[in-house]
Amino acid sequence: MRHVVSRRQLLGALGGALGWILSRPLAHAAKEAVQKVLASSKAPKRYDPSAHKWLMCIDVERCIGCGLCVDACKTENHVPEAASYFRTWIERYIIKKPAPGGTDVRGEVLVDSPNGGRKGFPPSLVPREEILRSFFVPKLCNLCAHSPCSQACPVGATFDSPDGAVLVDPTYCIGCGFCIQACPYGCRFMSPVTKTAEKCSLCYHRITRGLKPACVEVCPGQARIFGDVKNPVENDPIQEFIRQNRVFTLKPHLGTEPRVLYANIDKEVR
């Protein structure tokens, strides 16, 4: 038997479908408005992002490679446990002695970061006699003033906040991974939990409450100095650090203008 759809039924169905399509964005807008109210009631009050400009300084000479920062970052930001997901990590550089008879001053460069340095570093396989120089370098988001990741994001989910933090909006991220490829410092990863890009947020939930980022809080050697350049305090640690040290940025030739400044780095550090 042939099924006959009457004109009334068809128009009714079409009208219903149209109504459903139109109601979706309305419901979405309503949800957004409700979410905004809910979120703002939980968030710290009286934080104005345009009144701050955060900056991080790292003194490589003060890093002892204990990995407390890596562990604290994972705990504080609920970073996935697996050994390939880090918002901050420590690299161990080993510069070998040059081959005898050659003209080089410095030999082969080896870099490793077992589990990001989270549990400290096991003894290196390179014997002590062969090592010319070795040191640890903490790495994190470089807080680029001209961030390649924000430029690569097709949906505006990654952005440069007015206070200098480069953040990811997890509700807007579509998980395309362009930003992960764009970051020249390898500071981003795709979260296996949320399927969105994740990175160091400078512990945004902490700095907006007047706390230090977790890595800065736990660093026993004060290798990480954190401060607000717009609101210098008395004997400002950032100004003091820049006064006493010759500071550099990583990969300056890329023009990203990082606001993570490194002191006492060797030319091998990238």
Partner 1 sequence: MPPQIFRLVILTAGVVGSYGIARMLMVPPTFGEHGSYRGAALEELAAAKPVFSGIKACDECHSEVLEELVKFEHKTISCESCHGPSRKHAADPDVTTPKGKFADSDCLRCHQSSPSRPVWLKQVDPNEHYRGDKRCSACHLPHQPNEKP
Residues that bind partner 1 in the complex, under the rule CB under 8 A:
25-26, 28-29, 32-33, 35-36, 39-40, 42-44, 47, 49-50, 61-68, 72, 75-76, 92-94, 120-121, 123-124, 128, 131, 134-136, 156-162, 167, 169, 171-172, 201, 203-206, 208-209, 211-212, 214, 217-222
Residue 76 CB, shortest distance to partner 1, in Å, is 5
Rg of the chain over all Cα atoms, to the nearest angstrom:
25
Kindly tell me which of 191 and 208 has the beta carbon lying closer to partner 1: 208
Residue 36 CB, shortest distance to partner 1, in Å, is 5
Kindly tell me which of 151 and 239 has the beta carbon lying closer to partner 1: 151
Cβ neighbours of residue 232 under 8 Å, at least 6 residues apart? 238, 239
Kindly tell me which of 180 and 207 has the beta carbon lying closer to partner 1: 207
Q: Nearest 10 degrees: CA dihedral of 47, 49, 55, 56?
A: 60
Residue 104 CB, shortest distance to partner 1, in Å, is 20
Instruction: Check: CB of residue 172 under 8 Å from CB of residue 155.
Output: yes
Kindly tell me which of 86 and 136 has the beta carbon lying closer to partner 1: 136
Residue 1 CB, shortest distance to partner 1, in Å, is 40
Residue 113 CB, shortest distance to partner 1, in Å, is 12
Choose among 143, 139, 95, 94: nearest CA to 117. Answer: 139
Instruction: Check: CB of residue 139 under 8 Å from CB of residue 59.
Output: no
- Name the burial class of residue 253, with classes exposed (0-12), middle (13-18) and buried (19+) by CB atoms within 10 angstroms of its CB: exposed
Residue 245 CB, shortest distance to partner 1, in Å, is 14
Kindly tell me which of 40 and 103 has the beta carbon lying closer to partner 1: 40
CA distances (Å), origin 77, targets 3, 71, 80, 227, 268: 58, 10, 9, 20, 30
Kindly tell me which of 183 and 218 has the beta carbon lying closer to partner 1: 218
Report the C-alpha gap between 215 and 85 in whole angstroms: 16
Both tokens of 101, joined, read 């008879």
